[in-house]
């Protein structure tokens, strides 16, 4: 046991995008509050937020077909798409504020402009996509979306996908140029660097072993220093558990009633990454397809241009996998130790309900590289096996809980905040759209946990996020204003993007000459 003990206002567990966002918001609103961060790994953004563990889509529902379901009457429900898009606009506004205030520099290091596309095959899917396009393109949030089922136009949009494709194949796509690729790993690291400059006490290689309530209403954490092996005690008025897949175990240790009867189901992802620069150069978009029957929404196949360390990459996936770990750097016992008396029946019910999902995941794990190549060839007909390598992505833990709509043991696909009734502790669980909606989700945490402060904080929040409390869909003028200013500040307008790319190309040529 170490003699190190601290008392602080706020403890953030996990150095991912969620803690980075909450810490940054609080430092702007109440700079005098003391904040301490504990992260088990050696640096920030190494788990779910890392650029190789995160699709980086900048989820704005521009291309993800699972956010727009077809109703029994054949109409398309776009309510989820609207909600996700509005949440992403909130993130964009906050990042713009940070760049504009010189709290973050070089936005092109974490965000790039990139078309978002949906691609479908077969008559039924083409009909669905056209209906989806008609429902979305009339909405100001999705202004500028185009639809085409003409091979010539598709060849112009996605040459790599259209080459050597059978001429009689029914295929259609939508395209919207206002999409983005976001490097959440880079953004997380930049935000933690900023927090360090604001005197936030960041402790890497520190694992939280236990959380308990003290008699005076504070939270006491036992934290193991991974380097020295000593255990330290730290207390705080408010604790945020933002440890990705690791959050469920810590929520259970807190003992709050709101964390009872909640389970977690881990799903891992495998991407294929292209190692041939000539192939990479032929594709410039994020192209999302339709999930196979029985596949979880996070396994929607997509062919993505990515910008990682200022280098253009091409990734395809994700192929789902199963591992009992809740974190990539987790333990093989994570799943079994998450089963408690209060969530046992919920977990058993989920297991019985999701036999097809379990079967699907096992099949995915067993896939050979050639089988994965066959799936890739649905996107790139002439893909060559030697051009592609496998990369294991991050672990995601889907929430399992009892719901009115789904009954006992319902598998939830999304991001959820669980907080104590008195607002003294909150945990973030779940997966996609996750990182893209971090700012909205952290504002939700603040509303639940600091209701007494929200009124006094509101003017500052509105300065950071002009659309706070307002529906952008119902205010097209404000939406246009925000789109224009965020594009300009974040360097997303087309001319600036072309300039950034041409400067990058020039730099490459110079490097090669040197």
Kind and range of the H or E run holding 487 = helix 476-489
Q: How many CB atoms lie within 10 A of CB 64?
A: 24
| pLDDT score of 359 | 78
Using the predicted structure, report yes or no on whether residue 507 has a pLDDT greater than 50: no
| pLDDT score of 18 | 96
Which residues on neighbouring strands pair with residue 416, listed in sequence order?
A: 429
Instruction: Say if strands 180-182 and 111-113 run parallel, antiparallel, or are unpaired.
Output: antiparallel
Kind and range of the H or E run holding 374 = helix 369-376
At residue 297 the predicted structure's pLDDT band, cuts being 50, 70 and 90, is low
Q: Is this model's pTM higher than 0.85 or not?
A: yes
d(CA 274, CA 12): 37
Using the predicted structure, report yes or no on whether residue 497 has a pLDDT greater than 50: no
| pLDDT score of 296 | 64
In sequence order, the 6+-apart residues with CB closer than 8 A to the CB of 323 are: 266, 268, 332, 395
| pLDDT score of 117 | 98
In sequence order, the 6+-apart residues with CB closer than 8 A to the CB of 340 are: 252
Convert the pLDDT of each residue in 365-396 to its tens digit.
778 888 899 999 999 999 999 999 999 888 88
Kind and range of the H or E run holding 8 = strand 5-13
At residue 492 the predicted structure's pLDDT band, cuts being 50, 70 and 90, is very high
| pLDDT score of 491 | 95
- Residue ranges with strand state E in 91-226: 111-113, 116-121, 146-148, 171-176, 180-182, 201-204, 206-213, 219-225
* Residues 27-31, mean pLDDT to the nearest whole number: 98
CA-based nearest residue to 464, from 439, 433, 444: 439
In sequence order, the 6+-apart residues with CB closer than 8 A to the CB of 381 are: 163, 164, 165
Q: 323 — phi, psi (to 5°)?
A: -145, 140
At residue 352 the predicted structure's pLDDT band, cuts being 50, 70 and 90, is confident
401: three-class secondary structure by DSSP: strand
Domain covering 5-62+100-114+179-464 in this structure, CATH number: 3.50.50.60
Distances (CA, A) of 21 to 7, 87, 95, 109, 128: 22, 14, 10, 17, 37
Q: How many CB atoms lie within 10 A of CB 191?
A: 26
d(CA 193, CA 44): 9
Write down the mean pLDDT value for the chain.
90
d(CA 227, CA 231): 11
Q: Torsion over CA of 456, 460, 465 and 470, rounded to 10 degrees?
A: 40
Q: Which residue has the higher pLDDT, 59 or 296?
A: 59
Q: How many CB atoms lie within 10 A of CB 353?
A: 16
Instruction: Say if strands 311-321 and 262-274 run parallel, antiparallel, or are unpaired.
Output: antiparallel
Cα 253 to the center of its chain, rounded Å = 25
For the chain, how long is the longest CA-to-CA vector?
74
Q: How many CA atoms lie within 13 A of 419 on its CB side?
A: 20
Q: Domain-by-domain residue ranges, the chain?
A: 5-62+100-114+179-464, 476-513
* Residues 464-479, mean pLDDT to the nearest whole number: 95
At residue 293 the predicted structure's pLDDT band, cuts being 50, 70 and 90, is low
Q: 272 — phi, psi (to 5°)?
A: -105, 135
d(CA 8, CA 36): 7
| pLDDT score of 174 | 98
Kind and range of the H or E run holding 92 = helix 79-100
């Amino acid at each position: 046991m170490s003699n190190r003990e601290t008392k602080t206002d706020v403890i953030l567990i996990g150095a991912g995008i969620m803690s980075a966002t909450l810490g940054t918001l609080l430092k702007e609103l109440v700079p005098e509050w003391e904040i301490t961060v504990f992260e088990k790994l050696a640096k920030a953004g190494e788990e779910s937020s890392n650029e190789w563990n995160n699709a980086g889509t900048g989820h704005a529902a521009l291309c993800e077909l699972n956010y727009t379901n077809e109703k029994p009457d054949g109409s398309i429900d776009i309510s989820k798409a609207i909600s996700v898009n509005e949440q992403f606009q909130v993130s964009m506004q906050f990042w713009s504020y940070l760049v504009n205030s010189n709290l973050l520099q070089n936005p092109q290091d974490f965000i790039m402009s990139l078309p978002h596309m949906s691609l479908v095959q077969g008559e039924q899917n083409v009909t669905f996509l056209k209906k989806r396009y008609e429902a979305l393109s009339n909405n100001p949030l999705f202004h500028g979306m185009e639809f085409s089922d003409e091979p010539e136009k598709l060849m112009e949009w996605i040459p790599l996908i259209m080459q050597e494709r059978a001429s009689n194949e029914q295929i259609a796509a939508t395209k919207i140029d206002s999409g983005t690729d976001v490097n959440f790993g880079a953004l997380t690291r930049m935000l933690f660097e900023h927090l360090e400059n604001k005197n936030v006490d960041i402790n890497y290689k520190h694992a939280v072993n236990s959380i308990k309530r003290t008699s005076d209403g504070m939270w006491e954490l036992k934290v193991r220093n991974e380097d020295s092996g000593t255990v330290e005690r730290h207390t705080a008025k408010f604790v945020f558990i933002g440890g990705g897949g690791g959050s469920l175990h810590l929520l259970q240790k807190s003992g709050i009633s709101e964390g009872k009867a909640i389970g977690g189901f881990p799903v891992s992802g495998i991407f294929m990454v292209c190692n041939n620069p000539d192939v990479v150069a032929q594709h410039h978009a994020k192209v999302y397809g339709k999930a196979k029957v029985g596949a979880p929404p996070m396994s929607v196949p997509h062919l993505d241009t990515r910008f990682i360390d200022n280098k253009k990459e091409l990734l395809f996936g994700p192929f789902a996998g199963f591992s009992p770990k809740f974190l990539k750097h987790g333990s093989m016992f994570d799943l079994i130790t998450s089963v408690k008396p209060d969530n046992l029946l919920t977990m058993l019910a989920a297991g019985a309900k999701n036999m097809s999902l379990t079967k699907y995941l096992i099949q995915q794990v067993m896939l050979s590289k050639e089988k994965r190549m066959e799936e890739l060839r649905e996107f790139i007909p002439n893909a060559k096996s030697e051009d592609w390598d496998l990369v294991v992505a991050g672990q995601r833990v889907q929430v399992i809980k009892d719901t009115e709509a789904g009954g006992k043991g319902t598998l939830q696909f999304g991001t959820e905040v669980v907080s104590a009734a008195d607002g003294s502790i909150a945990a973030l669980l779940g997966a996609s759209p996750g990182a893209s909606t971090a700012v909205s989700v952290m504002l939700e945490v603040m509303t639940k946990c600091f209701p007494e402060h929200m009124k006094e904080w509101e003017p500052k929040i509105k300065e950071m996020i002009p659309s706070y409390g307002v529906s952008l869909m119902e205010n097209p003028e404000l939406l246009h204003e925000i789109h224009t200013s965020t594009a300009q500040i974040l360097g997303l307008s087309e001319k600036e993007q072309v300039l950034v790319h041409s400067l990058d190309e020039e730099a490459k040529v110079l490097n090669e000459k040197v």
